[in-house]
Structures are given as structure tokens and as C-alpha cells.
Amino acid sequence: MSHIALVTGAGQGLGQHFCASLLRAGYAVVITDIELQAAKACALQLDPGGKSTLALQLDVGNKADFERVLVQVLEHFGGLHVVVNNAAVTKTTPLMQISPEEFDAVVCLNLRSVFLSCQVLGAHLAEAGYGRIINMASLAGQNGGTATGAHYAASKGAIVTLTKIFAKEFAAQGVTVNAIAPGPIDSAAVRSAVPAERLPGLLANIPVQRLGDADFLGDLIVQLARPEAYFTTGATWDVNGGLFMR
């Protein structure tokens, strides 16, 4: 049996690229999204025969939903080995105009989702004695954000810390936990957040003068998901064109 990977927020955007990369690498993939039809459409597009995918509805802010999805995955595939926490909402509201309600909503979805996933799915992986968890952070969480809102940046910065916390928790049980922090990627989300007239200015500020490649992010996820990646945990991998250097 091939290894089983689950991706959250996979009905559109980068999540679809990640699912495609995992499928090409030989994984069976659980495609989850809060919109079940989006997850099903992604599965149909990537795996028309339906042999290597399972589309499930998942509200990543709900712990009971993670518990339900875990049961469904185990019933369908018989195991789970890799979790990619990709689901997030991006807001660009100016700092002093962010309402308490909007702040809570963004942080709840972006950060709470990773926490709940690592609690529920991570605990299962640890009990099984093997697993790979990859959390999608962001350059915004490292440099305070540029085109994104403060609540988005704060939530992504917290994901970097949460990654370290769960990496320590699960390290002795065969489970690694890492994060990827992309800069501006050539994606619908970036092009939506950055108006066309501002794009040349954005590119001019990126040392490599180009947007990042979504498929490369997928390939990096595949590398971190390999059994041989056991010695890499608690790390945040920068993919930002030179915008943030350690």
C-alpha cells in the first residue's frame, strides 16, 4: 500500500498543486476542503479514475471534523502517513481598520486549524509510530507582511512557533513536523491580493525579480514527506526569492 497523504484547503489554489505533486510521487491523497464540491472537483481533475484520491468535507476550525475525517480516512485507505496543513484565509485589511471580529476569524482559521490538525491527526501518527506533518507558514509571518494584513502575518508567524512545539512533542515517536514559508508565489491568491498595476513594483522588490513557482512548493512537500526526512524536524523552509535571509 502506498503512503497516504491528507491536504487541507485543497479544493483550489496551492492546495491543488500540492495534491498533484503528492500524486505524482506515488501517494494516495485525501483532498479536504470546507466546500465538498470543490474537493470532489479537484479529485476528479487530478485522478479521474478515483483510485488514488478521497474527497472529504473538512471544517478546519472544528476539532470534531478532524476526528470524523480521520475515521473516514482509516476506513477508506487503512492508514495515514502525511498531513499537509494548507488551509488559510488571506485578508489585506489595513492594520488600524481590522475589527476584533475579523482578527479573531483570521487567526482562528489559520492558526487554530494547524493546532487542531496536529492535535488530532498528529496524535494518530505518533501512536502509529510514523508520520510527516508539513505546515504552510508564510514570509509574512517572518517579516511582518507586505501585501497581507497584520492578522494574517501574525497567524503565520505563530504557525512557525507551533511547528517547533509539535516537533518537540512528536520527535521521539517517529513523527516530524516542519513548516514552509513561501514568499509571493505565482498563484491566484497573490494576483488577487496584488492589483495588476502594483505587480511590477512587487517584482522589483524581490531580489530574484520573479514570483515563486507553486509546483516547486509541492516538490518540497514531497521531500519533507519522505521517510528519509526523519532527521529534519522543527524547521521552517524559506522559499521567498531572497526577500528574507537568515
Which tens digits make up the pLDDT trace of 113-137?
999 999 999 999 999 999 999 999 9
- The three-class DSSP label of residue 185 is strand
Burial of 143 per CB tally in 10 Å (0-12, 13-18, 19+): middle
130 in catalytic set? no
Residue range 4-238, CATH number: 3.40.50.720
User: What is the band of 197 on the pLDDT scale with cuts at 50, 70, 90?
Assistant: confident
Please give the model's pTM, rounded to 2 decimal places: 0.95
Catalytic residue among 27, 130, 152, 230: 152
Neighbours of 14 (CB within 10 A): 24
Mean pLDDT of the chain: 95
Instruction: Report phi then psi at 26, rounded to 5.
Output: 100, 5
Check whether 1 has a pLDDT greater than 70.
no
Alpha carbon 110 to its chain centroid, in Å, reads 10
Parse the chain into domains and list their residue ranges: 4-238
